[in-house]
Structure 1
Amino acid sequence: MARLFGLLGWGMLGWMGLFSVVMTSAAIAQEDSLSSDLAQSNRPPSNLVPNPRQIVGIQLTTTDDELTLQLTANSPLSASETSSIDNALIIEIPNVRLATEEEFFEQFNPTADIALVQVTQISDNRVRITVTGSDALPEAAVRTRTAGLTLGITPGIAGNASESDSEALRIVVLEDIDEGYNPTDSSTAIGIDTPLRDTPFSVQVIPQAVIEDRNVVELGEALETAGSVVSAGGRGVSRDGPNFLIRGFPVVDSIFRDGIATSSLASIGTEDIERVEVLRGPASILFGQGEPGGIINLVSKRPLDEPFYSVSASVGNFDTYRGAIDVSGPLNEQKTVKYRLNLSYENLGSFRDFVDSESLLISPIVTWDISDRTSLEFYGRYAYDQETIDNGIPASGDGVVDIPRSRFLGENFAEFTQNQFSLGYRLDHEFSEDWSLRHATQYFSFDPERFGPLSVAFNEETGDLARFEYFADDQERQFFTNVEAIGRFSTGSVEHQLLVGTEYRRDSESPSFQFGPPYTSINVFDPVYTEEPYDINPDFFRDGITNNIAFYLQDQLEIIPQLKLIGGLRYDLVSRRISEEDLDEPRQDDFDFSDEALTPRFGVIYQPIDPLSLYASYTASFNPSTGVSRNDDDSIFEPETGRQFEVGVKADLLDSLSLNFAAFDIRKKNVQVPDPDDFPFSRQTGELASRGIELNLDGEILPGWNMTAAYTYLNAFVSDDTRADLVGNDFANAPENQFSLWTTYEVQQGNLEGLGAGLGLFYVGDRQGDLNNTFTMPSYLRTDGALFYKRNNWRSQLNFENLFNINYIDSSTFGFRSRVNPGAPFGITATFSIEF
């Protein structure tokens, strides 16, 4: 079976590669036949295909030598088409609706050379701009920019003048897509760029504005403003890296970059990320195997049409230093080939004794607009991370041991290193205005190594913390490829947007581990460090290969403008081969197994009035077998399955302020949890339940005053288990109440224009420290702040964390009593950035 999957996968790869070559060649052949006046498009990411946009504002202004027509739209406009009739130049923009108070816009004789400027809706999804010359046909040079659609128009006779050699009148159509704290679109939930108000699922977008104002440099910090997301520890020794919970469930293999799964045992930086999108609830129909709590999708920064250069530097307490460079722009005169390069380096100390880290990131992207309908993007990414392994502090009794939060209970030779490398491409092609195809292929490698004593048990009477020798390394390789077709069509009065896709993914791993023998214990009240590394002698080895083939279908239906439905179905076929060797027992086992699953989802959204959406949805999740039990027959685990019912309300309170409410109920069966009696193995329980409500408020309250706030009430517990004493127990690290608020105000005019301040409140309620509910991590309220000043092309700011220096517990790693993570004390970071 595994061989069959391999042959199918490589066959699919060959077909996709051939398809890419054919499509590229065909696009190049068509290039000469296209009008030079057609826009060269700055394509969206491969996982974006536009729904009809909305133009919500039109303004025409006149200066001495220029007309400016500004269209305010809710998201990027597509390429335009030009034609002419007599002296009238006609520019048509597809896939857009005119949503202004007036049904059309026109102004006569704005200048001596222009007789009329007119904007009208000519069909359901097309807007026409007409520019009529007084004596001759104007000429147009049209191109799409990241910031909008630019139309340079000069009076005269078409073909005899150009934008570059004329100082005559121009019309520039720009698009205002800086949505600040209130993004209106996302592609993560549906796979197609869709307004959030038309999405019957709970999605929260953490935009660049929030990332910048909070000076966020790693994913964990960014997610602090996301409702239902909390830290679950996990750096260094964790198999799952920087771990989070969404609606109580761990984010295991559920962090994606531009829709493709990624892995990391180190913190994930944000230097090359444009925004973070959190989809709450099962997401298997688009993202395959995963937990029912949700997924995190990192949206990368994309190349820009105009030159852009940015340099930033930060310095903070605990000997923290960071530097970053972000450059972008066109590589040819036609601006059809563009690039973006992000470089960053950081060297970090810590409030924890003897703990430090460093990281390096190199992230280039090049896009090639082969024609107005075809775009090809190549990208690569290299990341290196090194940090001291820190197991935190232990629990004591029903709480956490009372020692200074700076006390380190490991050894200064304990180290974690990681190298990541990815290389891939994306191809987008539009067959017509309504039908398009996209294809992506990526190779990803991941090589972590961990070495240092592991805390395993705490003696409360003596204060001694038992430790074991621990070593682990791994070589993980992932190959991913997919093909998706997107189409829009009608059946009678019903509008459809169809997504059909297939994907193949192959994962291989070859980890080795060393568990023991016992290492010198350390007293938590009077630590004495040995500073003596031990010999590396791995005694447990594993080789694994997983092949996954999937097919999925999704249809968005607009029954009437106020009523929209979505339905989808995914089929996954997973083949996995694992070989394990344990020198300590000794034993050697080989496992071959396969899983298959159908995962549906359905949603309905009703909009009784334009700014209000009511929705309900049902979604399912699937996770294939990932281990074996430790009983006598080493039986293979059953696949994990999950389902969710959700209802919600989405409301636009103001033009730039949105309120979202969701209530949900999740059930997950055949759950794998850490076995407290036999680490690092797992056991399989009956059922977990998670239910609760979420409330989000995001946007601009008044000019210059922005806010993002989230509240979550969560009841996450064991609803059925083979061990009766666990039934009713709360999940580890999952608080019943969670609240976050981040708000900023920036002076809009006068001598103090550009001066601003920010305030953050982060409340996390009491949490159980482990699944057995033997100890509790107390609630905390942390206060952050910021001061910034923006002027012209530069920005300086101070960010303050934990202003009142409260002593709090952040999380427990994997819910173990021996590894509890204290939160950081008061910290300050100064940042200066400049753009060219």
Structure 2
Amino acid sequence: MVRHFRWEGWGGRDLANVERVEALKGPASLLYGLTAPGGVVNYVTKQPLATPYYSLQQQFGSYDFYRTTVDATGPITDDKSLLYRINLAYKDANSFRDMVSSDRIFIAPTVTWNISPKTQVNFELEYDYGHVVFDRGIPAIGNRPADVPRSRFLGEADPRSMFERVLVGMNWSHAFNDNWTLSHRFTAVYNGIETYAANPTGLNTDNRMLNIFGVVGHRPPEDDASYFNAINLTGHFDTWGLQHTLLLGGDYFRTFRQGTEQYYFNAVDIYNPTYLGANAIQNQIANAPVVNSSALEQWFGLYLQDQIKLPFNFSILAGFRYDGAENEYIDLVSGAVTENPMQDSLTPRGGLIWQPIPEFSVYGSYTENFVGVQSGRSIGGSLLSPETAQQWEFGAKTELFDKKLMATLAWFDLTKQNMAIYQPPTFIDARAIGEAKTAGLEFDVKGEILPGWNIIGAYAYTPDAKVIKGYPGENGQRLPGVPKHGGSLFTTYELQAGTLRGLKFGGGVLVRGSQTTETSNTDVVLPGYATVNLLTSYSWKVGGSKLTTQLNVNNLLDKEYFPSAAFSRNAIEVGTPRTFMGSVRVEY
């Protein structure tokens, strides 16, 4: 099931019921709104099957990692008009970081009702509950990450920190005939948190004591509710010998969030840390002011797109999207109301494809984007202005060996206005960069080179990623978190015959160039790095079942690296050391 909308919550997405994860880039990611032109990650969830299938998997790895998953599906009725699928997962894990641990329980039942060959309804439920310690990483000293052990945790951990997420969804489709189909999706998501989240605000002048601005927050699931509706009409028809694929639709998104927060402050010695602990934090916030607020966001859109096959192997795509959005913030203590009135925009998209031979095509596209509701408030308390964007893309695609091997080369030029940047010390207030630009080349290749030999690789060259219009000292500075060079290459080979048929082995490398953390003259540079990963697996039949064992080794060379900086120079993520992950899965 393609999910164009997903509100994940603080615990991240559990993949137990996910069939595959897709990276939609460029114009393909924009039509349904609530996205940015750079792309969107799309989850395709597992659907009920008419043929019974059962799977049990146990994973175990470094730092006391244990995860158990169950997948069961099949028909409920003899005529297979009712199908079910249920996915379960349980995880309990520590970390290479001191005091950092997590656990979670995930349950996801799905039912499909095949009313007729042309009409289908799906009902889905997800329940996700767990505990997590928020780790903001380490600070920088000068223009490099601080020289402290990788295990050094510089926040506050509390075992009562928890998250709870409930998703309820329904989608249906009806085919009027072979050419016209109507579909509708409804999703409701409820997120709850009760947590200690520490945000570092900067080192003291002696480069030793890290100031901590902490939040003790509480929000029950019913007070963080998001609703999404989308309806689509898809049709195929001909006019004057031209073949059309028409898409007409609309969507509506509404979220309401109300919660209570209190703040605490601490200074941690990064070389010899001591922690306040839960009792000391409770004492500190006993007289702290309570921030009790609510926020409401509403967004609706209409869209129309037509893809037309033209003579001489040309195809053209043209469409537009209309968006309207409004939001408000209420301080429930003072009663102050801050709101953005309805703001709307009409954004076009279009593209041209030429496929002179079946194995090769070239294309070009232009698209615009409008993000009417941005999270956060600007300095002074007003809500943020809408973010807008424009993107050009040109490229070539090839499909070889009967479409078993595919490659894409693309050039893109993306400009955004009013990007939100969160500000210390609270990381609640934000400001908008006037304008930022990113341009570069991307290359992707994936598929089967020879029977059993698969490859997947990507490379991005982004020489231009900078602030065009910003605050003093920002103009011309490189955007944080965007390396000039980045790529990955991974390959596997599975024996196709003989005694060891089913044995697979492979490996790969992930490479990232250096990147900055802030758009200022005091940029911290995170060094470039490369990590090597290996895997081996073996599958064989045991009676009527299939048994698969697998071993993964990540960061084989135990490289010390820093993948990103979540907020600023004071919150640099620490890369995971060498880890081992084993699994045993039985399917029948």
Aligned to 2:67: 322
Query: Would the alpha carbon gap of residues 409 and 675 (structure 1) be closer, same or farther in structure 2, given more than 3 Å must change?
Result: closer
Partner AA of 2:113 in structure 1: W
Q: Could you tell me which residue of structure 1 aligns to residue 249 of structure 2? A: 501
Q: Give the CA deviation at 1:271.
A: 1.4
Question: Aligned in 2, Cα 1:326/1:414: closer, same or farther, shift over 3 Å?
Answer: closer
**Kept after mapping to 2: 8 A contact 1:414/1:453:** no
2:466 is the alignment partner of 1:718: yes
Looking at structure 2, the residues matched to 396 and 801 of structure 1 have their Cα atoms a distance apart, in angstroms, of 28
Aligned-partner residue type, residue 544 of structure 1:
A
TM superposition shift of 1:628 = 4.1
Correspondent of 1:653 among 377, 400, 413: 400
Letter in 2 for 1:714: T
Deviation at 1:787, TM superposition (A): 1.2
AA in 1 matched with 2:579: G
What is the correspondence of 1:727-766 to structure 2 with a 5 Å cutoff?
Answer: 727-766=475-514
* Cα distance in 1, alignment partners of residues 136 and 30 from structure 2: 36
Conserved? CA contact 2:507–2:532, under 8 Å: yes
Higher strand share: 2
**Conserved? CA contact 2:338–2:382, under 8 Å:** no
The whole-number CA distance in structure 2 between the counterparts of 1:636 and 1:740 is 39
The corresponding residue for 1:701 is 449
1:557 aligns with 2:305: no
CA shift in 2, pair 1:423/1:513, >3 Å: same
2:293 matches 1:542: yes
Asked whether 1:775 is paired with 2:524, we answer yes
Which moves more between the two structures, 698-707 or 591-600? 591-600
Deviation digits for residues 196-250 of structure 1, max 9, x if unmatched? xxxxxxxxxxxxxxxxxxxxxxxxxxxxxxxxxxxxxxxxxxxxxxxxxxxxxxx
Match of 2:87 among 330, 342, 361: 342
Matched letter for residue 533 of structure 2? D
TM-score by length of 1: 0.66
Aligned to 1:238: none
User: For residue 441 of structure 1, what is the aligned residue in structure 2?
Assistant: 186
2:569 paired residue number: 817
Preserved contact between residue 157 and residue 196 of structure 2 (Cα < 8 Å): no
- Cα deviation for residue 409 of structure 1 reads 1.5
Tell me if structure 1 keeps the 8 A contact 2:119–2:172.
yes
SS of corresponding position for 1:528: coil
- AA at the equivalent of 2:366: Y
SS in 1 for 2:550: strand
After superposition, residues 602-613 of structure 1 pair within 5 angstroms as 602-613=350-361
Match of 2:120 among 375, 390, 414: 375
Change beyond 3 A, Cα 1:473–1:693: farther
Deviating more after overlay: 334-343 vs 320-329: 334-343
Letter in 1 for 2:575: G
Aligned twin of 1:524: 270
Going from structure 1 to structure 2, the CA distance change for 1:284 and 1:661 (only over 3 Å counts) comes to closer
Aligned to 2:172: 427
What does residue 582 of structure 2 align with? 830
Q: Which has the larger displacement, 672-681 or 427-436?
A: 672-681
Report what 1:39 is aligned to.
none
Structure 2: tracts of 5 or more residues without a match: none
Post-superposition offset of 1:502 = 1.8
Alignment of 1:253-402 (within 5 A): 258-281=3-26, 285-402=30-147
Equivalent position to 1:466, from 211, 217, 223: 211
- In the alignment, residue 409 of structure 1 is paired with which amino acid? L
- For the Cα contact (< 8 Å) 1:330–1:337, is it kept in 2? yes
Take 1:284 and 1:828, find their aligned partners in 2: how far apart are those partners? Answer: 35
2:537 aligned residue: 788
Report deviation, 1:380: 0.8
Q: 2: CA distance between counterparts of 1:450 and 1:441?
A: 29
For these two proteins, the number of residue pairs brought into alignment is: 573
8 Å CA contact 2:467, 2:479 repeated in 1: no
Partner of 2:196: 451
The residue matched to 1:750 in structure 2 has which SS?
Answer: coil
AA of the residue aligned to 1:661 = L
Which position in structure 2 is the counterpart of 1:798?
551
- CA offset digits 1:460-512 (Å, max 9, x no partner): 62511112332233332112222211111100110001111122222111133
- 2: distance between equivalents of 1:415 and 1:693? 46
Amino acid at match of 2:584: F
CA 1:272/1:284 → structure 2, altered by over 3 Å: closer, same or farther? closer
Amino acid at match of 1:802: N
Q: Which one is further off, 357-366 or 386-395?
A: 386-395
Moved more, 566-575 or 302-311: 566-575
For the Cα contact (< 8 Å) 1:282–1:643, is it kept in 2? no
Structure 2: how far apart are the matches of 1:764 and 1:469? 32
- Whole-angstrom distance in 1 between the partners of 2:230 and 2:36: 22
Q: Which runs of 4+ in 1 moved over 4 A?
A: 282-285
Asked if 2 retains the 8 angstrom alpha-carbon contact of 1:282 and 1:642, the reply is no
Cα distance in 2 for partners of 1:719, 1:466 equals 29
Counterparts of 1:497 and 1:282 in 2: how far apart (Å)?
16
Higher normalized helix content (fraction of residues): 1
Query: % of aligned pairs identical?
Result: 32
Task: Determine if contact 2:299/2:373 at 8 Å carries over to the other structure.
Answer: no
CA distance in 2, matches of 1:628, 1:467: 21
The gaps in structure 1 that reach 5 residues or longer are 1-44, 48-257
**Is this contact kept in 1: 2:460–2:487, CA < 8 A?**
yes
**CA distance in 1 between partners of 2:278 and 2:128 (Å):** 30
The alignment's C-alpha RMSD in Å is 1.9
> Does the 8 A contact of 2:299 with 2:372 survive in 1?
no
Structure 2 CA distance for partners of 1:462 and 1:676, relative to 1, 3 Å: closer
The structural deviation recorded for 1:801 is: 0.7
Q: Contact 1:546 / 1:577 at 8 angstroms: preserved in 2?
A: yes
Return closer, same or farther for 1:462/1:296 CA change in 2, 3 Å cut-off.
Answer: closer
Pair 1:412–1:547, CA change in 2 (3 A): closer
Residues 418 and 357 of structure 1: CA distance in aligned 2, closer, same or farther (over 3 Å): same
Q: Report the 3-state secondary structure (helix = DSSP H, G, I; strand = E; otherwise coil) of the residue aligned with 1:808.
A: coil
Specify which of 659, 672, 680 is matched with residue 420 of structure 2. Answer: 672
> Do the aligned partners of 1:641 and 1:668 also contact (CA within 8 Å) in 2?
yes
| One-letter code aligned to 2:574 | P
Q: 1:592 to 1:415 in 2, by over 3 A?
A: same
Alpha-carbon distance in structure 2 between the residues aligned to 1:638 and 1:412: 35
Q: Which amino acid aligns with 1:706?
A: N
The 2-side partners of 1:625 and 1:485 are apart by 26
**Counterpart in the other structure of 1:643:** 390
Instruction: Name the residue aligned to 2:326.
Output: 575
Q: Secondary structure at the match of 1:302?
A: coil
